A and B are shown apart, each in its own frame.
Chain A
Amino acid sequence: MSEHDEKKLDANGSSRRKFLKNSGIAAGGVVVGGALGGLIGLNDKGGDTATKDTEPEQQDQALEYFTNRADFDLLGQATERIFPEDENGPGAIGLGVPYYIDHQLAGKWGINAKDYRQGPFFDGKHNPGGEVRLGEGQEQPNLGYQSQLKYHQVYDLGIEAIEKYSQATFNEKFTALDGEKQDEVLVALENDEVDIAGIKSSFFFNILRQSTLEGAYADPLYGGNKDMQGWKMKEYPGVQLSYTNEQVESEEFIEIKPESLHNTFFN
């Protein structure tokens, strides 16, 4: 390999080349077939402790969607009530969930890129009858999402509505409320008691809850699940390229140290 090629690899973020070092990887006592060869850099569990002990800079903890810091703070506090810090470990904020959501809203999910988006949309003015409720809300149980709003707009309107409801009910900003009162706001949101133009508030609540869980448990690549702490709390081993016979058949629970995509393929 030429020096030039080595440099290219470094630029790709590969600190060391990790091709198939361990060709004896096996499950059921059986060596992996040929299809694996050369594809995957196996996780080097030996590791370089000097690198691992250094706290990486969180350059991805900045905003690519939200423009107003107050909106982002409100979002963070709402997710923290859904998935709070406790004796098990960090909550949504500690896990980076608000950054996860920000990054998702800036990307293709935020603009519903893979959804069918052609009209007509039904928004309450059309009611063809029948048992399926068209237009009363956008989460009709049997027809799925039908709103014209894209998810980033749902978040904008949802956050605005939470703030308005807090002001109207408690005469305080949401972020100034104590946890119990914040929960009251979220309960109202969940029970469709908060006005949001175009959608039922429970729809926003459900999407907020789902995003929070995604941010807690998606690979750290996406900005949440900081240091794999979501996986550690859940005793989920993350990216494992193989389990042995003994692991598969064990009667007792086996603790397995989690690994991420970054650790496994790019470290």
Chain B
Amino acid sequence: MVTKLPKTDVVTIGVGWTGGIIAAEASKAGLKVVGLERGPNRGTANFSMKHDELRYAIRGELMQDLSRETLTFRHKSSQRALPMRQYGSFMLGNGVGGAGTHWNGMTDRYNPYDFEIRSKTIERYGEGKIADGLLIQDWGITYDEMEPYYTMFDKMAGISADETPLRGERSEPFPNPALIHGPELDLFKETTEKMGLDPFIIPAANNSQPYKNPDGQQIAACQMKGFCERFGCEYGAKASPNVTVVPTALKTGNFDLRPHSEVVEVLHKDGKATGVIYVDTRTGERFEQPAEIVAITSYTFNNNRLLLNSNLGTPYNPETGRGTVGKNYCYQVIVGTDGFFDDRKFNTAIGSGGLGATLDNFNADNFDHTDLDFLHGGTVIINQPGKRPIENNQVPPGTPKWGKEFKKQSLKYYNRLLNVHTYGAVMPHVNNYLDLDPTYKDVHGNPLIRMTFDYSETDRKRGHFLNNQTKKIMQEMGATHVSENESVEHYDITTYQATHNTGGVIMGADPETSAVNNYLQMWEADNVFVVGGSAYPHQSGYNATHTLAALAYRASEGIIKFSKDGGKLA
């Protein structure tokens, strides 16, 4: 039995960064918004015991319970996909705030090149530069059009930074100065400057000073004691939906936040959504929530899965190349170099999730690819997140991995280890996509999403290139021992790399090759907005949050406009 509820203007499926931003903006504009979040509610008061590496970082206290739902994975279509039974390569958020509760806070704008990647590549190198099988396409929006939305997020979150060389022009300065940092970041900056590169302190959502945002929300000052990624902030010093957009939305009186509410289907008829079906995860009771506008605002995987399980949109067919939902699934190539310093010792435990130094000389099209056999690149980064002892037991190459010598070396180098790594872009490929798994089901009996993904040749080459850069930098920094380059032969789902999964419901200017327009409005159902990393036509070489948050501001504008005028916004 399904209980039908009164109609609302907007329903969001998930209340993380994207759902939270839309809830705040739409409710401020006077629209009635219902936020359906399958996890629990929580806030700053729930994070006071967070200095617990085992509970949060190793066991994933704040993460989605995989016993209820996971995804399946394989490298290519000829293989049988098996379920991801445990966490590895990425962590899925759960609860009010979503992954925005336990992100690190690194806030990167994508490069102007990203938004027009196909046009700009052809313009500079000719069409032959784009390898066979790559589905590189423009985003249907330019950096200049994105800029105001990036700035809205910067101000809402109180982003702390000074300058960002080799990135797009900014219309306004950062609202807060960069975080202070330790000597390891100075070493990186001095070394890379000598190498002729352009390092800078990465913009962080971990506020460098107390900050009141334009909505009147107070964000505290970062205390530099680590425990950010995989943890909530017990000071409310890291911008998260919980301390910003969710209270802003609630303050309007127009936002009805419903935790423990898991959406299982988007209802639609004749190219128009009518609402959603959700389950109260405490009682099992089913509800229909009718809505004028449905905003699908969960993580990449669930955005895709909901559409496919609801038969909304046209599924991508890798054989014919037709259809869009599930297309252009991407990730990143994440490689790096450990440096072991015999003559220096750092306070490794001190830091902040968003704290790091970075450079973009090897990112996007900031360097000449004429003689290279790949496109794009990646950001090169040294972070100072406050390293934790269970996860950090690196030893120089050749050291045994257990026993007396291991213990000795792992103790010695805990405070003498630095790492320089990259978030390398991944280019979309015809063979990489998301669809429904034919075998495995979630707790409700609905099919899991199936990921078919591996690096293509161009990703491997980019990975090797970037790993050579990180190694060279680490050697120049004066490390006594330097780790070997990492393998980028095949994507490894078992080892944590980054929660930067993208694509499947991609944006663009053409309904034949994209699922949503540049307002994140579905081509095939104009009162449905699908917002998140799912909209990225390729994955760039940056941290992924800022762009999906900016897109949520863009989508909010579209939703408000649509609520008045209706019709296709682009």
B449 at the interface (CB under 8 A from A): no
B393 at the interface (CB under 8 A from A): yes
Enumerate A209-267 residues with CB–CB distance to B below 8 Å. 209, 213-214, 217-219, 221-222, 230-231, 233-243, 245, 247-251, 253-254, 256, 261, 264-265
Residues of B contacting A126 in the complex (Cβ-Cβ under 8 angstroms): 80
Enumerate B300-323 residues with CB–CB distance to A below 8 Å. none
Residue in contact with B411 in the complex, picked from A122, A234, A265, CB distance below 8 Å: A234
Q: Once bound together, how far apart are the Cα atoms of A91 and B403, in whole Å? A: 10
B219 at the interface (CB under 8 A from A): yes
B407 at the interface (CB under 8 A from A): yes
A83 at the interface (CB under 8 A from B): yes
Q: Once bound together, how far apart are the Cα atoms of A29 and B105, in whole Å? A: 22
Q: Is A236 in contact with B389, judged by CB distance below 8 angstroms?
A: yes
Per-position contact with A for B74-97: 1 when CB-CB < 8 Å, else 0?
111011101111101000000000
Q: Is A249 in contact with B182, judged by CB distance below 8 angstroms?
A: yes
Residue in contact with A88 in the complex, picked from B225, B411, B440, B493, CB distance below 8 Å: B411
Residue in contact with B74 in the complex, picked from A32, A132, A235, A247, CB distance below 8 Å: A132
Q: Once bound together, how far apart are the Cα atoms of A129 and B75, in whole Å? A: 12
Q: Is A248 in contact with B70, judged by CB distance below 8 angstroms?
A: no
Measured CB to CB, the nearest residue on chain A to B454 is: A142
Residues of A contacting B17 in the complex (Cβ-Cβ under 8 angstroms): none
Majority SS at the chain A contact face: loop
Per-position contact with A for B318-340: 1 when CB-CB < 8 Å, else 0?
00000000000000000000000
Say which one of A10-18, A52-60, A113-121 lies at the interface with B: A113-121
Residues of A contacting B85 in the complex (Cβ-Cβ under 8 angstroms): 112, 115-117, 144-146
* Extra contacts besides A120-B439, A214-B390 (20): CB < 8 Å: A28-B208, A30-B209, A33-B236, A40-B234, A82-B403, A82-B406, A86-B407, A88-B407, A109-B59, A114-B66, A116-B440, A118-B83, A118-B441, A143-B74, A144-B84, A231-B389, A241-B225, A242-B224, A243-B224, A250-B347
| B interface residues, Cβ below 8 angstroms from A | 44-45, 48-49, 51-54, 58-60, 63, 65-67, 69-70, 73-76, 78-80, 82-86, 88, 179-183, 208-210, 218-225, 234-237, 243, 345-350, 389-390, 393, 401-404, 406-408, 411, 414-415, 439-441, 490-494
| A interface residues, Cβ below 8 angstroms from B | 25, 27-28, 30-36, 39-40, 81-84, 86, 88, 91, 109, 112-118, 120, 122, 126, 128-132, 134, 141-146, 183, 186, 209, 213-214, 217-219, 221-222, 230-231, 233-243, 245, 247-251, 253-254, 256, 261, 264-265
Closest 7 CB pairs of A and B: A33-B220, A35-B236, A130-B79, A217-B389, A253-B345, A218-B54, A242-B223
Provide a sorted-by-A list of 23 A–B residue pairs whose CB atoms are within 8 angstroms.
A33-B210, A33-B218, A33-B236, A34-B220, A35-B44, A39-B45, A88-B407, A91-B407, A112-B86, A115-B66, A115-B85, A116-B66, A116-B85, A117-B67, A143-B494, A145-B85, A146-B82, A217-B53, A242-B225, A245-B180, A248-B182, A256-B347, A261-B51
